[in-house]
RNA sequence: GUGGUUGUAGCUCAGCUGGUUAGAGCGUCGGUUUGUGGUACCGAAAGUCGCCGGUUCGAACCCGGUCUUCCACCCCA
């Protein structure tokens, strides 16, 4: 029975051109990572569930792809749980593995597990797919690649400074100008929550604040009130809503708001340190912007928080994110190892580069010379020439099927044409007898009979 | 998880209020051109109308379900 093939929701096939373009992004990022001193590691596509569960908040747990146990998985399920039909509780007994949700948590696991082999501070990068059981939409897939660079084992703020530079370097190398690197600090958010008497509602508070540019001041206040944040606290936020201007003037306003919060003041100090360094070092094409409403990845970040948005005019969610996590390895039993890292969203960067027409033309080139196949004798003769061409570093191939009854020449020429192969070589009986090759330039249509040496030098 | 949206030939899409053999362009294949591609002309093949069920004398069209696409919310790369 024939059935129409399909792939799961939120996944994609990539054709040769798309793969070439993706590889271009991969290799650009990889080169930048390595110039900054990062080394690659890889981790499995799936982890033990307990490694991942509970690290990304309640929402995150829901979006983790769980892998069903093999064998008779129902036999282990507690009868009571089964009768209750409680999906959450049953999940842990029928699924012990899950697809990785990001690269940061598996990395933390890796660090703890290999702590004795690692030389700290450890700078690693990782470019692998991650999976989320999300509903697809623009720039959002269920399988996508992240490119992460992290440093663990150092509390130095110079790392944050370097990561800002790394973002700038990568986007510059990709020709993507005008990205905004937004920065905030978890300590500032905690400080504000403390000042307004909502320390226990930090997450509700930041989630609401994060929506400021989307739903506006009034709606944000409504949401905060609805979450049980006291009115007099919200009133204290007033200077926050009117926070405008450059980095320095925003810092001044924050100093006023956070004058009574020790943690908040620490956050301000850190931001200032990073900003001062960046101002002094300069950025190529990106802009560093303080955004107090930035509240992403709250689950394990403790210091700086980064998010990168595409150049103005491109409608796309963030194309990168990251931050400082003081104790991510602590949950796996290794205390006092601070980490900081950033991530690039490959698939979204692809969409942005495509939309702005920033992919270089040269990256899709494949075969340079195609030999027409006139028959077995000619093919063997051609393959000798092809061998020399390949040794000279020229991508060459022989058309596999031979011309029969003098037909199919057209088909072979057409093949070269469709694949944008710039040169075609014809070797028939006449050429073989004279050890010559008819070289045709597909662009100009011109052709000439040449020796092997001339052939190689003409196409090189 | 919530709300909306989409699905007809390989691709992009027509198909009027349900009514014979479901169309076009592009592409594919063949020919004009048995050692020459891109252009032109001629011709051909190709569709379980996403899937399952229902209403009807009759369904691509109406109804229900399901999968898929895209979008917004939630959240996030």
Domains of chain A: 16-64+101-196+237-356 (3.30.930.10), 365-459 (3.40.50.800)
Rounded to whole angstroms, the Cα distance separating A431 from A378 reads 9
Nearest alpha-carbon partner for A144 in A307, A344, A297, A385: A344
Residue A378 Cβ < 7 Å to strand B: no
pLDDT band for A298, please (50, 70, 90 cuts).
Answer: low
pLDDT recorded at residue A42: 97
Residue A377 Cβ < 7 Å to strand B: no
Rounded to whole angstroms, the Cα distance separating A264 from A369 reads 65
DSSP secondary-structure letter at A440? Answer: E
Residue A323 Cβ < 7 Å to strand B: no
Rounded to whole angstroms, the Cα distance separating A139 from A146 reads 13
Nearest nucleotide to A409, CA against C1' atoms: B36
pLDDT recorded at residue A3: 57
Instruction: Give one word for A394, left, alpha or beta, with left for phi > 0 and alpha for psi -120 to 50.
Output: beta
pLDDT score of A2 more than 60: no
Residue that wins the pLDDT comparison between A79 and A440: A440
For residue A353, with 0-12 CB atoms within 10 Å meaning exposed, 13-18 middle and 19 or more buried, which class applies?
Answer: buried
Q: What angle, 0 to 180 degrees and rounded to 10, lies between the N-to-C axes of helices A202-210 and A217-226?
A: 160
Residues A291-304 as b/e (b if ≥16 CB within 10 A, e otherwise) read bbbbbbbbbbbbbb
Least confidently predicted of A57-66, A189-198, A202-211, A437-446: A202-211
Evaluate the omega torsion of the peptide bond into residue A375 and state whether it is cis, within 30 degrees of 0: no
Which residues in 191-230 of chain A line strand B, with CB less than 7 A from it? Answer: 207, 211, 214-215
Q: State, as a whole number of angstroms, the distance between the CA of A361 and the C1' of B40.
A: 31
Protein-contacted bases of chain B (C-beta within 7 A): 1-3, 28-31, 33-38, 48, 50, 67-77
Least confidently predicted of A97-111, A245-259, A389-403: A245-259
DSSP H or E segment with residue A84: helix A79-84
């Amino acid at each position: 029975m024939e059935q129409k093939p399909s792939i799961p929701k939120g996944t994609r096939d990539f054709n040769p051109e798309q793969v070439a373009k993706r590889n271009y992004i991969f290799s650009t990022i990889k080169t930048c990572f390595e110039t900054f001193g990062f080394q690659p590691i890889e981790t499995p596509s799936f982890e033990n569930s307990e490694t991942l569960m509970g690290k990304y908040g309640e929402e995150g747990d829901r979006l983790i792809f769980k892998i069903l146990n093999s064998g008779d998985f129902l036999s282990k399920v507690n009868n009571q749980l089964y009768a209750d039909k409680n999906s959450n509780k049953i999940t842990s007994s029928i699924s012990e593995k899950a697809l990785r949700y990001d690269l940061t948590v598996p990395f933390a696991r890796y660090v703890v597990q290999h702590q004795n082999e690692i030389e700290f501070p450890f700078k690693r990068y990782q470019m692998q797919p991650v999976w989320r059981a999300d509903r697809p939409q623009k720039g959002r897939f269920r399988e996508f690649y992240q490119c992460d660079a992290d440093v663990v084992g150092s509390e130095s703020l110079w790392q944050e400074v370097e990561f800002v530079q790394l973002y700038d370097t990568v986007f510059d190398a990709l020709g993507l100008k005008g990205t905004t690197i937004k920065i905030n600090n978890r300590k500032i958010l905690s400080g504000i929550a403390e000042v307004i008497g909502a320390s226990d509602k930090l997450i509700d508070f930041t989630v609401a604040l994060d929506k400021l540019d989307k739903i506006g001041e009034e709606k944000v206040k409504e949401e905060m009130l609805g979450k049980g944040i006291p009115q007099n606290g919200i009133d204290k936020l007033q200077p926050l809503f009117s926070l405008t201007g450059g980095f320095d003037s925003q810092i001044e306003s924050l100093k006023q708001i956070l004058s009574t919060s020790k943690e908040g003041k620490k956050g301000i100090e850190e931001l200032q340190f990073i900003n001062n360094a960046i101002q002094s070092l300069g950025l190529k094409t990106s802009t560093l912007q303080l955004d107090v409403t930035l509240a992403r990845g709250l689950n394990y970040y403790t210091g700086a928080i980064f998010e990168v948005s595409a150049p103005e005019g491109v409608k796309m969610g963030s194309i990168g994110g990251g931050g400082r996590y003081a104790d991510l390895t602590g949950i796996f039993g290794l205390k006092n190892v601070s980490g900081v890292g950033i991530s690039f969203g490959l698939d979204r960067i692809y969409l942005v580069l495509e939309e702005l027409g920033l992919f270089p033309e040269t990256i899709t080139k494949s075969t340079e010379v195609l030999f027409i196949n006139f028959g077995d004798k000619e093919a063997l003769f051609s393959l000798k020439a092809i061998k020399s061409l390949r040794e000279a570093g020229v991508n060459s191939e022989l058309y596999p099927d031979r011309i029969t009854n003098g037909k199919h020449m057209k088909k072979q020429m057409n093949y070269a044409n469709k694949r944008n192969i710039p040169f075609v070589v014809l070797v028939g009986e006449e050429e073989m007898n004279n050890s010559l090759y008819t070289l045709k330039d597909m662009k100009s249509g011109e052709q000439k009979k040449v020796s092997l040496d001339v052939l190689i030098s003409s196409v090189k």
